[in-house]
Amino acid sequence: MMQGHLCILLVVIPLFAAPIAAILPRGRLPWAAALIVTSVCFVLAGMQLWSVVQDGVVSYELGGWAPPWGIEYRIDAVNAFMALIVSGIAAVTLPYALLSAEKEIPEHLIPLFYSAFLLCFTGLLGITLTGDIFNVFVFLEISSLSSYALISLGRKRQALTSAYQYLIMGTLGATFFLIGVGLIYSQTGTLNMVDLAARLPQVSSLNTIHTGFAFIITGIALKLALFPLHLWLPNAYTYAPSVITLFLSATATKVAVYVMLRILFSVFPSDFVSTTPTGDLFLLSGIAGIISASVYAIYQVDVKRLLAYSSVAQIGYIALGIGFASFTSLTATLVHLFNHALMKGALFMAIGSIIYRVGKCHMDSIHGLGRQMPWTFGAIIVGGFSLIGVPGTAGFISKWYLVLTAIEQDSWISVVVILVGSLLAAVYIGKLIEALYFKPAVDSNPAVNEVPFSMLAPTWILVLANIYFGLNTELTVGVAEHAIRVLGVTAE
């Protein structure tokens, strides 16, 4: 009984919990509500992945309306995997959020903060679970609008302008997506993804379809911060509250990547990637993004901004994988998507811990903190090594698969770019470690202690996950390969 309703519960529970959190009294109750909801969702998402892997695709008709007229939630291994990532990160984030949010957000806004957080969570889960392309837009807007609100809650006044700019740009992306969906609808008369996949091959030569496709791709490319459409990301990540930075960096862009994969490979005929400029666009922007964003990262003086640019570079790797569009490369993409969520999650948590203690994260104001906060520093080292791709960490696995793909495709330039990218990552992580550990402490900073356990534990869960998934690849690679097969791409 429960099994059949899992997917709708995953969306409905946080959706209803959001207003409840808003009206709960100040104090820790809203947090507790959010914690319970995300943990329940995590368990449900785990059960859902299990049942999908066991029994195959689940189709849920919303309100009893049969597809393609009604909205259908269609769960296969890809959705279920994504939902697990999103809810998993949310479940790890919340225990961490308690103290960090209390420190960074005015007390009277805390209920609203958790309410917006839950709405954002709802939106992200909804995007992954729905099988209706217009519904994707709706949930995209739910998650985006709530994330604008969340970003504007940052400590500095710049948070307001960056949230506003993100609003303009994000709306631009969403509008492009909607225009594309409208054009497609005008030719096929359907919005259901499975139905679209059946009807599109007959009309795929029409210019309207190609134009719609172009609008959808550019729109989502903006949402996933594909270079050079990444301009919203550095400001948004830098000025958002630490909890939000870590949650968005680990989930929001990843969900956009998922939408991209879904549309490229299971909605549209999969030869669209090679017969349109899509593949080349992704390769080009991936290569340009890896190099330029890594170089930008080296010159940042704000640690969060440094990591934000590094995220743009990591999205470049993901774009490379999409651009090659082969079985191995898409596996690499999914694996990197998962691993990047782990490493950026760990790093942003550690930086959030530093902000919790020192109140800022300028390169000059964190000197010597590594010696005073050894566990946080350890997390940064392991997370940083994972970002560089040192063997034994999760980052190595995804880089490894990407390099294999590039060699398989005889694309030597990508091999060089991936390796140079790792080298540049070593430089900016080295800069961070140097500032944290080797520079003498700033006199004006009072000596600080390690952060409380409730912040360290989530950080180290992610750090240990980085090491675990660097040694045991069965789960990530196995699920990713399964998911890519479900998307309709098979190994030659």
Which residues contribute to the site for other proteins (CB under 8 A)? 165, 168-169, 172-173, 176, 207, 210-211, 214-215, 217-218, 221-222, 228-229, 231-232, 235, 275-277, 281, 390-392, 397, 400-401, 403-404, 407-408, 415, 419, 422-423, 426, 430, 438, 473, 477
- For the purposes of burial, counting CB atoms within 10 Å of the CB of 4, is it exposed (0-12), middle (13-18) or buried (19 or more)? exposed
Closest approach, Cβ 287 to other proteins, in A, equals 15
**What distance in Å separates the CA atoms of residue 169 and residue 103, rounded to the nearest whole number?**
29
Residue 241 is encoded by which pair of tokens? Answer: 């509250």
Closest approach, Cβ 56 to other proteins, in A, equals 26
Closest approach, Cβ 383 to other proteins, in A, equals 16
State the distance between the two ends of the chain, measured CA to CA, in whole angstroms. Answer: 40
Give all strands (DSSP E) within 111-192, no chain letters: none
- Helix then strand count (H, E) for the chain reads 20, 2
Closest approach, Cβ 277 to other proteins, in A, equals 4
Closest approach, Cβ 419 to other proteins, in A, equals 5
**Closer residue to other proteins, CB minimum distance, 155 or 210:** 210
CB 358 within 8 A of CB 104: no
The three-state secondary structure class of 228 is coil
Nearest alpha-carbon partner for 245 in 170, 136, 162? 162
Cα–Cα–Cα angle for 25, 26, 28, rounded to 5 degrees: 105
CB 230 within 8 A of CB 455: no
Contacts of 109 (CB under 8 A, 6+ apart): 153
**Closer residue to other proteins, CB minimum distance, 164 or 453:** 164
Closest approach, Cβ 275 to other proteins, in A, equals 6
Q: What are phi and psi of 59, to 5 degrees?
A: -120, 130
CB atoms within 10 A of CB 36: 13
Q: Write the DSSP assignment of 16-38 as a string of letters.
A: HHHHHHHHSPSSSHHHHHHHHHH
Q: What are phi and psi of 373, to 5 degrees?
A: -125, 70
**Closer residue to other proteins, CB minimum distance, 421 or 458:** 421
**Closer residue to other proteins, CB minimum distance, 271 or 364:** 271
Closest approach, Cβ 357 to other proteins, in A, equals 25
Closest approach, Cβ 316 to other proteins, in A, equals 15
Omega cis (within 30) before 25: no
